Amino acid sequence: MVLPKYHQIMLPFLKLISDEKKHRVSELGNEIAKHFDLNERERREVLPSGAQTVFDNRVGWAKTYLKKAGLIDYPERGFVLINSKGKALLSENLTEISPNYLRRYDEFLEFKSPSISNTKTFANETIIVASQENLSTPQEALEAAYRSLNNEIIADLISNIENCSPFFFEKLVVDLLINMGYGGSRKEAGKAFQSTGDGGIDGIIKEDRLGLDAIYIQAKRWKKESVIGRPEIQKFAGALQGFRAKKGVFITTSRFSKEAYDYVEQIETKIILINGTELAEYMIETNTGVSVVDVYKIKKIDLDYFQET
């Protein structure tokens, strides 16, 4: 089952509260999920940020749009109630409430505040130009744009890493591991690759500042179209056994085969595989080789603030 869009949720939402009684929003979410026959896996699908499930986000925006159109009221915190305008809409026997349909309500138009690019002015009158509205929620659209920008940065990072020298790649790996909390001091971590190629191990780095354990590193700066298979990982695992090591990280700018992933799941030695995309993602997450250009903060009402004592 494909998760319903927020506009597809609005009509079932209204119908569920058509008895003119107060309904708890959290319980409505469960009823709407049953209406669309969603399973647990579908309900648990999260937004890219991980801050909220996709389904809960869409239910929330369906509720917001209905409220902004003046079709429901909030009688108290966490509850909704249909009003006369909402009842009148249901009497029209619609099959779906589209975003454009809500434009018939002045309250909704005021909420949407159309931009200049979506308006035309004739004789001092502003006329809305009808267009197909994005069927994603505002938060989904924002996160999709963020994900698109991140994908571009990931591709650029991998391209730059592929063109850098082996020495610089070693430095990059050390910087990343330090930024992730490994390696002790920078001076100690900087020694990690001084024994490059020694027994199939590219470097050794402390797991923590106290050096309670060590992590053995293999770093391969290969073209992104290359695939690292099980034989390469077996060689690395054998090298780890030679050092009596329990933990290893295999980092590459390319990717691993399914057999490689299956192999590390079967052996006792703990080996983490980091492919090119994951390497770039970790760099972005830890601000390694990237810098912050802009920060957009998403805020919501603090309802506790408005609770009078």
| Average pLDDT, integer, range 97-112 | 86
Q: Which two tokens stand for residue 37?
A: 């026959």
Average pLDDT of the chain to the nearest whole number: 83
For 177-216, what is the HEC assignment?
HHHCCCCCCHHHHCCCCCCCCECCECEEEECCCCCCCEEE
Residue corresponding to tokens 């002045």: 106
Residue corresponding to tokens 């073209």: 223
Quick one: 109 and 160 in the same domain?
Answer: no
CA 6/CA 135 separation, integer angstroms: 7
Quick one: 93 and 187 in the same domain?
Answer: no
Quick one: 106 and 199 in the same domain?
Answer: no
Nearest to 173 by CA among 225, 232, 220, 223: 220
- 114, 135, 168: which is the final residue of a domain? 114
pLDDT at residue 208 tops 50? yes
Quick one: 163 and 58 in the same domain?
Answer: no
The H or E element that residue 235 is part of is helix 230-242
Question: Is residue 138 included in any domain, yes or no?
Answer: no
State how many domains the chain has.
2
Question: Is residue 293 included in any domain, yes or no?
Answer: no
pTM of the model: 0.60
Own/partner long-range contacts of 199-206 (Cβ < 8 Å, ≥24 apart): 199/239, 199/242, 199/243, 200/235, 200/236, 200/238, 200/239, 200/242, 201/239, 201/240, 201/243, 202/170, 203/170, 203/173, 203/174, 205/174, 205/177, 206/182
Q: Which two tokens stand for residue 118?
A: 């979506």
| Average pLDDT, integer, range 78-107 | 91
pLDDT at residue 230 tops 80? yes
- 89, 114, 139: which is the final residue of a domain? 114
Quick one: 184 and 244 in the same domain?
Answer: yes
Question: Is residue 24 included in any domain, yes or no?
Answer: yes
CA 259 to chain centre: 27
Quick one: 97 and 151 in the same domain?
Answer: no
* pLDDT at res. 156: 85
pLDDT at residue 184 tops 70? no
The enclosing domain of 43 has a CATH number of 1.10.10
Quick one: 99 and 201 in the same domain?
Answer: no
Quick one: 24 and 99 in the same domain?
Answer: yes
Quick one: 156 and 280 in the same domain?
Answer: yes
Question: Is residue 62 included in any domain, yes or no?
Answer: yes
Between the two ends of the chain, the Cα-to-Cα distance in Å is 46
Quick one: 174 and 250 in the same domain?
Answer: yes
The enclosing domain of 250 has a CATH number of 3.40.1350.10
Q: What is the pLDDT of residues 244-287, one digit of tens each?
A: 888 999 999 999 999 999 999 999 999 999 999 999 999 999 99
pLDDT confidence tier of residue 120, bands split at 50, 70 and 90: very low
- Residue 217 backbone phi and psi in degrees, to 5: -120, 135
Quick one: 155 and 218 in the same domain?
Answer: yes
Quick one: 74 and 165 in the same domain?
Answer: no
Question: Is residue 72 included in any domain, yes or no?
Answer: yes
Question: Is residue 295 included in any domain, yes or no?
Answer: no
254 CB contacts (<8 Å, ≥6 apart)? 220, 222, 223, 224, 225, 226, 227, 228, 275, 276
CA 117/CA 128 separation, integer angstroms: 10
Question: Is residue 278 included in any domain, yes or no?
Answer: yes
- 114, 134, 163: which is the final residue of a domain? 114
Look at the alpha carbons of 90, 95, 101, 102 in this order and tell me if their dihedral is positive or negative.
positive
Give the pairing type, strands 119-122 and 79-82: unpaired
Question: Is residue 225 included in any domain, yes or no?
Answer: yes
Q: Which two tokens stand for residue 117?
A: 């690019």
Domain with 104 in it: 6-114
